[in-house]
Amino acid sequence: MKRALIILTVLVAAACGGGNDVGDGDGDTADTVPPADASPAYVGETTIAIEGDTVTVTITGDLPTPCHAPQTTIATSRPITEGDESPRTRVDVTIWSESDADEPCAQVLEPFEVSVSASVEEGGADVYVNEELVGSVG
């Protein structure tokens, strides 16, 4: 695959959703889903970059309080296509926040930035954040 760097910036408003692999925003993941009492992470801007076969999604926005920590999942799937249509990888990112409910905390928004990456196959990728299409690359 030809090496290319494509950056697409879009503004997105989103709330929390479900997923399979959970991380703390630093690329580490574990097999779990967001808890029922998860809080939203208010998504402001999403940047998508592709280099080689790796798509990196960087999300900035606000958390409900400084005591919340962003949590993410990222999953990829390859849909079946018909005819001459080139298959595209679907990249699903889910983001939400969690905090210790017993910890006292100032009630102000806290800015955040997280980046997650996934390998994609030739043909490009469609990127979704909290089930909303935010952009396509390739």
Q: pTM of this prediction?
A: 0.72
Structure tokens at 17: 């959703």
pLDDT tens for the chain, 138 residues long, are: 333 323 232 222 233 333 333 444 444 444 447 888 899 999 999 999 999 889 999 999 999 999 999 999 999 997 766 666 677 899 999 999 999 888 899 999 999 999 999 998 887 899 999 999 999 988
Strands 125-129 and 54-63 come out as unpaired
pLDDT for position 88: 85
Backbone angles phi, psi at 2, to 5 degrees: -65, 135
pLDDT for position 82: 64
Q: Could you report how far apart the first and last alpha carbons of the chain are, in Å?
A: 11
Alpha carbons 115 and 63: distance in angstroms, whole number: 15
Alpha carbons 47 and 45: distance in angstroms, whole number: 7
Structure tokens at 102: 């017993």
pLDDT for position 115: 97
Closest CA to 112 of 74, 48, 68, 49: 68
Give me the count of residues in the chain: 138
pLDDT for position 84: 63
